[in-house]
Amino acid sequence: MTDKISKLVQLSLSMQSLAAASALLAGVPDSMRALHEEFTAAKAELDALEASATQAALDRRQAEAAIADAQEKLKHFQQQVSKVRNQREYGALLTEIDTVKQQAKTLEDAALAALARSEEIAQELADRRAVFADLDARYQIELVNWEAEKPAVALRAAALKAEVEALEVGLPRPILGHLRRIFERYKGDTLAMVRRVERPGAQAIWHCSSCNYQIRPQVSVEIRTRGTIVQCEGCKRFLRVEENA
């Protein structure tokens, strides 16, 4: 393998290792992933319940405030009864009083429903918190252990970053730009092997091991003998050949 291709291969591998270390620093190790997912789901359910409890309490306060307003209106209308001057005004006032009474009844029902909902959610919250406490304790222990391991991972990530930057030196900018784009597109799978396929009674053909795109035989020779950096015309990955090809 020529120096250029060898450097490209090593750069790709170092980029993969750096991406894995960076992802690990941003998340959790595989050893605690199941616990992390369980904790995250349980915490989300608990947060949703607490939000529902807050909303139920708010609904109750708003209904009670509206009831107080309705009662004040009702009191005002009742004080006006003795001041009406004719039957028409009396009928209109009674209509207002009935309307406010109906509104007050509706608001009282809403307040009672909010109270019942609050009590139901409070009980469910108490049960969930009791179960969550054990899960939280186990998760915090694992989290402390992971935080103790993080500095070593961070040091490795820093070393890999320096390694990537060193390997990039000397490689043409267009090649580096293509490499980064392919790295993002294929999640680190930037290289493909050139494979030779023998065909009985026919000339052998060469193809990309990743996308199976047929490659001109001369390309394999150029990569092996001249160290030419070539991209597959199909998937755009960089092509390499086996050491003993």
> What pLDDT shows up at residue 84?
79
Q: Which CATH architecture has domain 3-168?
A: Orthogonal Bundle (1.10)
Enumerate the CATH 1.10.287.1490 domain ranges in the chain, comma separated: 3-168
pTM as predicted: 0.67
Mean pLDDT to the nearest integer, 212-228: 85
pLDDT tens track for 59-77: 989 989 999 999 998 888 8
Tens of pLDDT, residue by residue over 93-146, are: 889 889 989 999 999 999 999 999 999 999 999 999 999 999 999 999 999 999
Q: Is the Cβ–Cβ distance between 205 and 48 less than 8 Å?
A: no
**Token pair of 18 as six digits:** 């750096």
Output the pLDDT for position 239.
92
Residues ≥6 apart with Cβ < 8 Å to 136: 39
User: Which pLDDT value is given to residue 80?
Assistant: 86
pLDDT at 37 over 60: yes
pLDDT surpassing 70 at residue 228: yes
Q: What pLDDT score does 241 carry?
A: 86
Q: What's the mean per-residue pLDDT of the chain?
A: 90
Lowest mean pLDDT among 13-22, 29-38, 64-73, 80-89: 80-89
CA 116 to each of CA 110, 158, 195, 209: distance values in angstroms, whole numbers, following the listed order: 10, 56, 71, 65
